[in-house]
Amino acid sequence: MARSDLLINLVKSGASGDKHTLGKIVDAIVAEERAKNHNIVADRIEKAYRLSDSNWNGKAATLMNAHSSESNARARDFIAEVKPRRRFEELILPEVTMTAAQQLVEEQQRASLLRSHSLEPRHSALLVGPPGNGKTSLAEAIAESLAVPFFVVRYETMIGSFLGETASRMKRVFDYARTTPCVLFFDEFDTVGKERGDTHETGEIKRVVTSLLLQIDDLPSYVVILAATNHAELLDRAVWRRFQLRLPLPSPTQKQIASYLTALSDRSELKLGASPQQIAKSLGKVSFSEAEEFFLDLARRQVLAAGEETPAQIAKQQLKIWASRVLGPLTQKQDDNAGTPTT
């Protein structure tokens, strides 16, 4: 209770100072207390802050709550809440990327200790790498570790055709995210974070990027914003500065693919039909996503075979089919460069 009284007195004493900064601090404290299910304390803090503002009255509160509810309902159209399916122990990541991601989680989990030393936890990361190598999985793992909602921005509904429409919708998304501790995830981030100096882009895109940068700057630290891109070279230069962490997720090596297949086999108790190293070598340069798809092919065929074919026979057949597949542009480029000497 002593700590609760201290927080309430802190809000009262700070109300006469910088209102913008104070509002962000109050939001952070309230969200933290609600995350701990300390709803009574959170309500008292909000009440103390409101009473300290001489302009606050019951009518304003009613109007604000009504407006907030309407805005939240509209914002839900532009995000999808996804249940995280991945955990850190399931991922195979570069050591530096894994360490940085776990530090981010630890700082969020121990935010109270940091704030007691006038420090805020880091809460933004840019995930960069080729498709299928774990960017979305890492974002899910962070949300799963923090046990907070995982919100994925839906571009198909957020991007509008009228002037200013996209920027307005984006603001609603950020306003909604501020209402609770969460992970806000922008996949294919280059869609909305493009370089403003590109002469081929319209003025609307430039306004969207400017609005995006302002919204990120104003985001409280209890909201973790993660963005993933396959085309880092397309991002606006100012976008890079907004992210406290910039984590690489490169294409996996054969050894990593073998380890990934082994982990999938162990978790599902499914026999691969060949050594993981042999399969990894036969698959060639593939992403983690492609390796998982191949593993699922094996699983489907073994279930449908109902014991009439051995795992080894199925693996041989599926590898033959895999070898005859049509390569995508990225895989084709990798294969073309495989024998090219580098300096």
Model confidence pLDDT, tens digit, residues 302-319? 999 988 999 999 999 999
180/208 same-domain check: yes
Percent of the chain topping pLDDT 90: 49
340 assigned to some structural domain: no
pLDDT at position 182, please? 94
189 assigned to some structural domain: yes
Tell me how far CA of residue 236 lies from CA of 107, 126, 231, 232, in angstroms: 28, 13, 11, 9
Rounded-to-integer distance, Cα 29 and Cα 277, Å: 51
Per-residue pLDDT reduced to its tens digit, 225-253: 999 999 888 888 888 888 999 999 999 99
In the predicted structure, residue 259 carries a pLDDT above the cut 70? yes
More confident residue, 276 or 69: 276
283 assigned to some structural domain: yes
214 assigned to some structural domain: yes
In the predicted structure, residue 41 carries a pLDDT above the cut 90? no
pLDDT at position 232, please? 86
Burial tier of 46 (Cβ tally within 10 Å: 0-12, 13-18, 19+): middle
164/305 same-domain check: no
Burial tier of 289 (Cβ tally within 10 Å: 0-12, 13-18, 19+): middle
Structural domain count, the chain: 3
- Domain at 146, CATH number: 3.40.50.300
pLDDT at position 287, please? 94
126/179 same-domain check: yes
When pLDDT is cut at 50, 70 and 90, the band that residue 275 belongs to is very high
184/220 same-domain check: yes
337 assigned to some structural domain: no
Q: Which two tokens stand for residue 177?
A: 């995210």
CB atoms within 10 A of CB 300: 12
> Mean pLDDT: which of 2-11, 120-129, 225-234 is highest?
120-129
When pLDDT is cut at 50, 70 and 90, the band that residue 206 belongs to is confident
119/168 same-domain check: yes
When pLDDT is cut at 50, 70 and 90, the band that residue 343 belongs to is very low
Side-chain half-sphere exposure of 202, counting CA atoms within 13 A = 8
In the predicted structure, residue 66 carries a pLDDT above the cut 50? no
Domain around 38 = 8-49
229/94 same-domain check: yes
3-state secondary structure the chain: CHHHHHHHHHHHHHCCCCHHHHHHHHHHHHHHHHHCCCHHHHHHHHHHHHHHCCCCCHHHHHHHHHHHHHHHHHHHHHEEECCCCCCHHHCCCCHHHHHHHHHHHHHHHCHHHHHCCCCCCCCEEEEECCCCCCHHHHHHHHHHHHCCCEEEECHHHHCCCCCCHHHHHHHHHHHHHCCCCEEEEECCHHHCCECCCCCCCCHHHHHHHHHHHHHHHCCCCCEEEEEEECCHHHECHHHHHHCCEEEECCCCCHHHHHHHHHHHHHHHCCCCCCCHHHHHHHHCCCCHHHHHHHHHHHHHHHHHHCCCCCHHHHHHHHHHHHHCCCCCHHHHHHHHHCCCCCC
Phi-psi region of 118 (alpha: psi -120 to 50; beta: other; left: phi over 0): left
Is-contact 86 137, C-beta < 8 A? Answer: yes
When pLDDT is cut at 50, 70 and 90, the band that residue 26 belongs to is confident
184/217 same-domain check: yes
342 assigned to some structural domain: no
321/277 same-domain check: yes
> Mean pLDDT: which of 20-24, 26-30, 269-273 is highest?
269-273
pLDDT at position 202, please? 56
84/115 same-domain check: yes
- Domain end point (choices 248, 280, 313): 248
In the predicted structure, residue 209 carries a pLDDT above the cut 70? yes
62 assigned to some structural domain: no
> Mean pLDDT: which of 64-68, 92-96, 186-190, 235-239 is highest?
92-96
What pTM was computed for the model?
Answer: 0.73
In the predicted structure, residue 47 carries a pLDDT above the cut 80? no
Is-contact 189 229, C-beta < 8 A? Answer: yes
Percent of the chain topping pLDDT 70: 77
43/107 same-domain check: no
Side-chain half-sphere exposure of 38, counting CA atoms within 13 A = 15
106 assigned to some structural domain: yes
152/234 same-domain check: yes
240/269 same-domain check: no
Rounded-to-integer distance, Cα 283 and Cα 289, Å: 12
Radius of gyration for the chain, computed over Cα atoms and rounded to the nearest angstrom:
24
The overall average pLDDT reported for the chain is 81
